[in-house]
Amino acid sequence: MAKQGSIFLRFRNFDAYAKTLDDFRVKTTTGALVTTISALIIGFLMLSEFFAYRTPTWQTELVVDKSRKEKLPIHFNITFPKMPCHMLTLDVMDDAGAHISGYTHNVFKVRLDLAGQQIQIEKAHKLGDLSSGADLALQEEPSCGSCYGAKSIREDGCCNTCAEVREAYVRMGWGFGDPEQIDQCLREGWREKIENQSNEGCNIHGELLVNKVRGNFHIAPGQSFRHSHMHIHDLNQYMKGTLNGHTFDMSHTIHSLKFGPDGPDADTAAALTVQNPLAGVVKQTTEARIVYQYFLKIVSTKLQPIEGSPIYTNQYSFTQNERTLAPEVAGLPGVFFNMDISPMLIIYQEVQSTFTSFLTGALAIIGGIFTVAGLIDRVMYRAERTFRKKVGLGKTL
């Protein structure tokens, strides 16, 4: 029994927290103040540490993008206050050889009055060809109409509407001249429809699906076509300058331009990435022969939340340039978006702290505050004792 008692006595020598006798403990007002302040600081820091533990954070990583063969969705919304819808054409071309003139799939044009109020919204190909009277023309003129030397888009070789003549001209690479010389256009009142829409603006919006390679898409006046491997626009009406007192120019407002899927996860992606930096850009001009160019650097982005499927999107930066074409210089006025695809992929990984890291932080807070508070209390206590001794000896003023 005595041997067991001696073992416990020896074990006490390992106590790193030796206790002082209560008779030698001195409680002071400054010590109480330091203890209270320390407790408040510990409580505040512990609460902050808990919130940090419960709040996920996003970590970024940069890797090589391996999804180069995928398609790239583009969502856009642009308003042209001084351009009628029937005069605007959307074209897409890229370094992979894709060349789409008059892109219309999932693209809508909204006719606007001079006050910017909506007049009519339809699919781009329906509004752009001004062929609302085509059915009536077919009933009145069932015979085979002439294509005026062009190759018809129909199997029977006929061009019974003004729009069919126009498409036949485009297929041949010809500019569409004066509609007054085309019987179909006269019968459908083509000139009157153009003049009725001359004092209008246009909002064009929708979604493009393009190859994920370097290229451009642009919105320019006139019907577009290819001739001898060249991209050409029929600018006959646009370069006349005015029609019914309305001046044509490429002034525009970009409401939005985003790359990537637009779904319920778009808000999460928008909070972390730069998805729509061109939103709100306004350009105004009085020049007809002006080119607006936006050079876009697009970077693929992946967001991996703690729960749920990964979100794939794109962010981009841009530079811009505008220039007026001299009369003797060939060029196409319009708004051009030149896309350069980065070979890198940014990954945002959502992470949450573990309980062990929270516990480590909590112990560090408590231990650190108590240690510092102890030092402060010791200094204040010694300073107070020294001061009292000087008072007792009458050495203070």
Q: In the numeric block, which tokens belong to residue 277?
A: 């930096």
Is the residue at 25 inside a domain? no
Name the nearest CA neighbour of 164 among 194, 178, 192, 144: 144
Domain final residue, candidates 196, 221, 237: 196
Residue 252's SS3 state is: strand
Q: Report how far residue 327's alpha carbon sits from residue 317's, in angstroms, rounded to the nearest whole number.
A: 33
Range of the domain at 385: 30-54+354-391
The answer on 323 and 234 residing in a single domain is: yes
Do 71 and 136 reside in the same domain of the chain? Answer: no
Q: How far is CA 335 from the centre of its chain?
A: 18
Helices (H), 59-118: none
* Gap between the Cα atoms of 167 and 173, Å rounded: 10
Radius of gyration over alpha carbons of the chain, in Å?
A: 38
Whether residue 80 sits in one domain with residue 35: no
Ramachandran sector of residue 255 (left: φ over 0; alpha: ψ -120 to 50; beta: rest): alpha
Is there a domain that residue 8 lies in? no
Q: Are residues 250 and 358 in the same domain?
A: no
157 and 285 part of one domain: no
Looking at the fold, whether 91 and 164 belong to one and the same domain comes out as: no
Together in a domain, 105 and 206: yes
- Side-by-side strand order, sheet with 252-259: 118-123, 107-112, 201-211, 71-80, 252-259, 281-283
Q: Is residue 107 part of a domain?
A: yes
Sign of the alpha-carbon dihedral angle for 325, 331, 337, 343: negative
The amino acid at residue 217 is F
Does one domain contain both 306 and 376?
no
Residues 115 and 259 in one domain: yes
1 domain-assigned: no
The model's pTM: 0.71
Would residue 14 count as lying in a domain?
no
- Tell me the CATH number at 265: 2.60.470
Same structural domain, 270 and 185: no
End-to-end, the C-alpha distance of the chain in Å comes to: 64
Helix 355-392 / helix 29-54 crossing angle, nearest 10 deg: 160
Q: Which of 176, 196, 216 is the last residue of a domain?
A: 196
User: Which segments of 23-179 are extended strands (E)?
Assistant: 57-64, 71-80, 88-94, 99-100, 107-112, 118-123
Specify whether 344 is located in the same domain as 382. no
- The two beta strands, 252-259 and 281-283, are antiparallel
Measure the CA–CA gap between 193 and 173, rounded to whole angstroms: 24
- Residue where one domain finishes, among candidates 148, 175, 196: 196
- The one-digit pLDDT tens for each residue of the chain (397 residues) are 555 567 767 766 766 666 666 656 677 777 888 888 888 999 999 999 999 888 888 888 999 888 767 888 999 999 999 888 888 889 999 888 888 888 888 899 998 888 888 886 655 544 344 444 444 343 444 578 888 778 777 777 888 887 788 777 777 767 666 677 788 788 877 777 777 777 888 999 999 999 888 999 999 987 776 666 777 776 766 766 555 556 788 999 999 999 987 766 666 666 667 788 999 999 998 888 899 999 999 999 888 888 878 888 889 999 999 998 887 777 889 999 999 999 999 998 888 888 898 899 999 998 898 888 888 888 887 887 787 777 777 665 5
Q: 309 and 217 share a domain?
A: yes
Q: Is residue 229 part of a domain?
A: yes
DSSP E strands in the chain: the ranges are: 57-64, 71-80, 88-94, 99-100, 107-112, 118-123, 201-211, 215-221, 223-227, 230-234, 242-243, 246-247, 252-259, 281-283, 290-304, 311-324, 334-351
Tally of domains in the chain: 3
Residue pair 222/235 in contact by the 8 Å Cβ criterion:
yes
